[in-house]
Amino acid sequence: MWFKSKAFDYKYIARKSFMTNKYQKQIIRLAVLPAFAFTLVITAACVRFRYEAIELMLYGTRSLTLQRIEEWFVVLLVGLWACFLYVVARSIRISGELVGSFERLNRQMDKTIRGELRVPLKARDHDELAKDLLERINIFIDNLPEGPLKVR
């Protein structure tokens, strides 16, 4: 690339897996809240149906269908909540891939503006969104005068 000649000595510190920044939280809410509401409603319906099925079994005949529902009730609820946890983990992962680096890039840009850091900004290998933006930002960084910049 055009900036390989410059020394790149900025140390990238990897974040922990489930930490989120302010940009990610909006994306996560979009996926997690409807999934949580759906899981909660289905759980409530299953619990209510189970109590009705138990009353029917106590006071009526026990059919094969009700026996199967009773046997698979716990498996159904555990599977449902496992799917919800998968949605949560996946939305954290996807939001991190989309906008996870923006907070770090903002900090690096602040250091560049103050004159503390004059190296090209680097995106993670799989971060296509930031790579497109950083190609243009690095052109500005290469052409900046030495020292802190005047901020309007």
Kindly report, residue by residue over 43-61, the tens digit of the pLDDT. Answer: 888 888 777 766 666 666 5
| 89 and 150 belong to one structural domain | no
Query: Is residue 82 located within the same domain as residue 27?
Result: yes
Overall number of domains in the chain: 2
Return the half-sphere exposure (C-beta side, CA atoms, 13 A cut-off) of residue 14: 4
Domain membership of residue 124 (yes or no) is yes
Asked if the structure places residue 41 within a domain, the reply is yes
**C-alpha closest to that of 108 among 132, 68, 138:** 138
Instruction: Clarify whether residues 53 and 95 are in a common domain.
Output: yes
pTM: 0.61
Residue 11 forms part of a structural domain: no
Examine the domain organization and report whether 52 and 113 are in the same domain: no
For residues 38 and 90, membership in a common domain is answered with yes
Do 111 and 65 reside in the same domain of the chain?
no
Instruction: State whether 129 and 68 are in the same domain.
Output: no
> Of the residues 56, 82, 99, which one is the last residue of a structural domain?
99
Helix ranges (H only) for 1-152 are 22-59, 64-99, 102-114, 128-142
- Give the pLDDT confidence score for residue 57 in this predicted structure: 65
Do 49 and 111 reside in the same domain of the chain? no
Place of tokens 């690095």: 138
Within 10 A of 101 (CB to CB), how many other CB atoms are there?
Answer: 25
Residues 6+ apart with CB under 8 A from 118: 112, 141, 144, 146
Domain membership of residue 119 as a residue range = 101-152
Residues of the chain falling short of pLDDT 70:
1-18, 53-67, 147-152
Q: Is residue 15 part of a domain?
A: no
